């Protein structure tokens, strides 16, 4: 199996790359401006085109859209959340997902049972609205919606799409007080991706196998 992972330089992305490599799969681990890795900026169509061209005629069995940013931690409602944070967050967390799918569609089409996994967050669920982190929550809500609509359009092409909440994970983004380790999140996500098929396409599931409300 050939797996391509965006944002694979740290945290969940790095853990997923290591897990699939340990299983003997071919892994294209990408990141922005990280020496020794496949260089990919998911917000730059030219960068995506260059990586896609480098794959030549290889099939891609699983595209994991993991690259993301959480830029509005600690912002104040009265004076924070500037337009630049909104623009950058949506460019990475939403547009970057779409551009990645678009760039690698020809390679996914060459696989026997291709899959796309989008790492979102339950912070984007409309059923969980404790306030704050407006930009991150809104961008992840958009990513969930994007995944659902991609699932509709890609199912006739035989491509399954799943959206996933990875848990509150002890990473640079999640912080040391988070609930689960990176290994726990990675092991759960690998199991979820393996279970994804056309029948479950459009799902929004948690790392440990629960269906999440949108």
- Cα(128)–Cα(137) distance, rounded to whole angstroms? 10
- Cα(207)–Cα(151) distance, rounded to whole angstroms? 19
CA dihedral for 152, 154, 155, 160, sign (positive or negative): negative
Residue 181: the pLDDT is 86
User: What's the whole-model pTM score?
Assistant: 0.94
Q: What is the CA radius of gyration of the chain?
A: 16
- The encoded tokens of residue 36 equal 């020794």
Indicate the domain borders of the chain. Answer: 2-206
- Cα(144)–Cα(195) distance, rounded to whole angstroms? 19
The values of phi and psi at residue 48, to 5°, are -65, -40
Percentage of the chain beyond pLDDT 90 is: 80
The confidence band for 173, taking pLDDT boundaries of 50, 70 and 90, is: low
Query: How far is the CA of 155 from the CAs of 126, 181, 197, 199, in angstroms?
Result: 25, 33, 10, 9
CA dihedral for 71, 75, 81, 82, sign (positive or negative): negative
Look over the chain and give the mean of its residue pLDDT values, rounded to a whole number: 93
**Three-state secondary structure call for residue 57:** coil
Query: From start to end of 125-207, where are the E strands?
Result: 160-165, 204-206
Which residues have a Cβ under 8 Å from the Cβ of 100 and sit 6 or more positions away? 6, 42, 48, 63, 65, 67
CA dihedral for 27, 31, 33, 39, sign (positive or negative): positive
192 or 170, greater pLDDT:
192
- Domain 2-206 adopts which CATH fold? Rossmann fold (3.40.50)
Query: Per residue in 92-126, is it b (16+ CB within 10 Å) or e — as a string?
Result: bbbbbbbbbbebbbebbeebeebbbbbbbbbbbbe
The confidence band for 128, taking pLDDT boundaries of 50, 70 and 90, is: confident
């Amino acid at each position: 199996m050939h797996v391509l992972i965006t944002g694979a330089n740290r945290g969940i992305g790095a853990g997923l790359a290591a897990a699939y490599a340990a299983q003997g799969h071919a892994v294209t681990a990408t990141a922005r401006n990280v020496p020794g890795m496949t260089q990919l900026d998911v917000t730059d169509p030219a960068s995506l085109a260059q990586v896609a061209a480098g794959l030549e005629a290889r099939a891609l069995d699983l595209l994991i859209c993991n690259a993301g940013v959480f830029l509005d931690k600690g912002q104040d409602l009265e004076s924070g959340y500037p337009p630049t944070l909104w623009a950058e967050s949506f460019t990475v967390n939403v547009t970057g997902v779409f551009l990645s799918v678009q760039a690698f569609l020809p390679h996914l089409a060459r696989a026997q049972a291709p899959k796309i996994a989008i790492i979102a967050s339950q912070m984007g669920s409309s059923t969980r609205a404790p306030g704050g982190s407006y930009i991150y929550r809104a961008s992840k809500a958009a990513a969930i919606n994007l995944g659902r609509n991609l699932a509709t359009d890609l199912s006739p092409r035989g491509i399954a799409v799943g959206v996933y909440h990875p848990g509150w994970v002890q990473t640079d983004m999640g912080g040391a007080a988070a609930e689960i380790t990176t290994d726990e999140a990675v092991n759960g996500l690998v199991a979820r991706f393996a279970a994804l098929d056309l029948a479950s396409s459009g799902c929004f599931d948690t790392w440990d196998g629960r269906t999440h409300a949108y």
